[in-house]
Structure 1
């Protein structure tokens, strides 16, 4: 089995403006995903708003600096993740396609990336 990270991306403003009905649809979609994926899901969660993030970076050998906010100024942000085990990328993509963000009426999606090393 191979481990994959599913990165749930979406438009920050669309998430902020989401109606209670859309929030309920998304929540139910994640419950349905978890019911199908079952033990393949090793971990997952929703991330806090990018505005409350801190970015740590170093440039040209200078000591790392901390800045408030997201790494990029993009309208899109990572809003959540799952780590799962699957036989291969095809199976991971099949499971990711069950997430509600892959069919959201606003700009959203799921990036599937293989984890190469563990801690």
Structure 2
């Protein structure tokens, strides 16, 4: 079962990570289930597309919502079930400093 893991940053907690922790991607369980992932450029680089009244698409700079928490990365996991995905996601440093959102991928 595949899960898309959104890594959410809380700027109020920036700089509080434990630098001595083993990198998340080096954990044996993570290596086994992580298919891909990466950091994202800052939300100031985002582009949002909206439907226009009467047809077409409206394109705007930046995010669609004003919030301090922003998605800063993603990982695609291949896990046996939600319990395994939660176990892997809970090891990520942002699980203590921001938030992790897991979403099953339609297959």
Q: TM-score range by the shorter chain?
A: 0.7 to 0.9
Question: Which residue matches 1:99?
Answer: 92
Question: Which residue matches 2:102?
Answer: 112
Structure 2's unaligned 5+ residue stretches are: none
State the TM-score, normalizing by the size of structure 2: 0.84
The answer to whether structure 1 residue 43 and structure 2 residue 43 are counterparts is: no
The offset of 1:10, in angstroms, is 1.5
Contact 2:48–2:59, Cα closer than 8 Å, also in 1: yes
Q: After the TM superposition, which residues 1-119 of structure 1 pair with which residues of structure 2 at under 5 Å, given as runs?
A: 2-11=1-10, 13-14=11-12, 18-19=14-15, 22=16, 25=19, 28-32=22-26, 34-104=27-97, 108-117=98-107
Given the superposition, is the C-alpha separation of residues 99 and 89 from structure 1 closer, same or farther in structure 2, using an over 3 Å criterion? same
Over the residues paired in the alignment, what is the CA RMSD in angstroms? 2.3
The offset of 1:59, in angstroms, is 4.0
Q: Which runs of 4+ in 1 moved over 2 A?
A: 22-32, 59-62
C-alpha distance in 2 between matches for 1:26 and 1:80: 21
Contact 1:26–1:101, Cα closer than 8 Å, also in 2: no
State the TM-score, normalizing by the size of structure 1: 0.77
Corresponding pairs, count: 107
Q: Which has the higher helix share?
A: 1
